[in-house]
Amino acid sequence: MIMKRPKIILFSLLAIPFICIACLFVLFAVCNFPFNSNVLADIVAPNGDQVCVVQTFKGAEPYQVSYYARRPDGPWVWHYLAHQDDRWRACRVEIIGDTMKIYRGSVLRKTASLNDVTLPPNDLREQLPGNYTAMQILSNHSVYFRR
């Protein structure tokens, strides 16, 4: 009986790393389920300005979150919000005058001037046609960021 105790202790010590790895996999799954890309918010201001927030599931990283903004007569302009982030389960956008605010749940993540975020970018890859719908924006975002 005295000899069995060291074997149990040794087995327990060797099992600790495997238990920790299993816990990390469970935590990853809980934070990121259902592992899909989606439109988080799509808002049109009374003056016609639009903001669309999307997230793309990338696998191990796991999500790229971006927003696109446009004037009524302009293209959608891409802007970074987060990468290697957990799934955003709740998002809302407020537009008050020229100020746009993006919230993740109740936490303010971005404040910007709509005049600034709707300026045409230097890199044409950072803009999409103005007639794109939120789902077309998401599709384009997913193709680009899953590479």
Per-domain boundaries in the chain: 1-33, 38-145
Count of C-beta atoms within a 10 Å radius of residue 88: 20
Q: What is the per-residue DSSP string for 82-146? A: EEEEPPP--EEEEEETTEEEEEETTEEEEEEEHHHHTSPPSSGGGEE-TT--HHHHHHHHHHHHT
pTM for the predicted model, two decimal places? 0.85
Q: Say if residues 98 and 113 touch (Cβ distance below 8 Å).
A: yes
Write out the H or E segment, with its range, that includes residue 44.
strand 38-44
- Residue 99 has φ and ψ, to the nearest 5°, of -100, 130
pLDDT at 31: 80
Q: Report the alpha-carbon distance of residue 40 to residue 22 in Å, rounded.
A: 30
The per-residue pLDDT for range 32-73, each reduced to its tens digit, is 888 899 999 999 999 999 999 999 999 888 999 999 999 999
Q: Report the alpha-carbon distance of residue 146 to residue 23 in Å, rounded.
A: 26
User: Is residue 25's pLDDT more than 90?
Assistant: no
Per-chain mean pLDDT for the chain? 92
